[in-house]
Amino acid sequence: MMNIELESMAIEMPAVVGHPNREPFRGVLTLVDVVSDKAPAGARGHRVVLTRVAAETALASLLGMALDYSLSLDCHDTRRKIGVITRAEIVGKKLELGGYLFAKDFPEIVKQIGQGRDCQSGFDPAHPPHHACLAMSYEIADARVADVKAKVWTLTQVTFTGAAILRREKAAYRDTWIELD
């Protein structure tokens, strides 16, 4: 028998039917207790593992934070805020997100996410359809590393300050994704 653990938090946004600037999204931001596929920015070349305890403790810090992207989709651009995170939950080893993209303000990225299933760059047909070329990456502050001399940094405490959309090959975790909900 398989046990599934779930930690969940959300802020409720009032329903506004047909709101032109609210496009719902969902996705996987990161994996917990899993070593990153490559070193994220800011980790000085170290791959990282975000502990479940650190992720659970910091889950509330994701709510109300922004989703951003750079025009080239190859780095974080915290000044290009294109959405808001309203839901965060840990399901198994996945930290899943949901929220709204500012569709009227940023129609080009909403269109690209909507067409993500047809994207060629980094697309792996072995994955389910939502695993296209776009991935997500977390932004953090106040990180504590168990041992900065270790080959892989274990993050024991973080505060989430947002998230970014990146091309899959630029993300520290290749199994992250984003899609319109």
Q: What angle do CA 77, 80, 81 make, to 5 degrees?
A: 115
Global pTM reads: 0.87
Average pLDDT over residues 13-21: 91
> Percent of the chain scored above 70 by pLDDT?
87
For residue 89, the cross-strand partners are 8, 96
Domains annotated for the chain, with CATH where assigned, are 21-180 (3.20.16)
User: For the residues 66-86, what does the mean pLDDT come to?
Assistant: 96
Residue 123 has pLDDT above 60, yes or no: no
Q: Rounded distance, CA 77 to CA 65, Å?
A: 14
Indicate if the pLDDT at residue 20 is higher than 70: yes
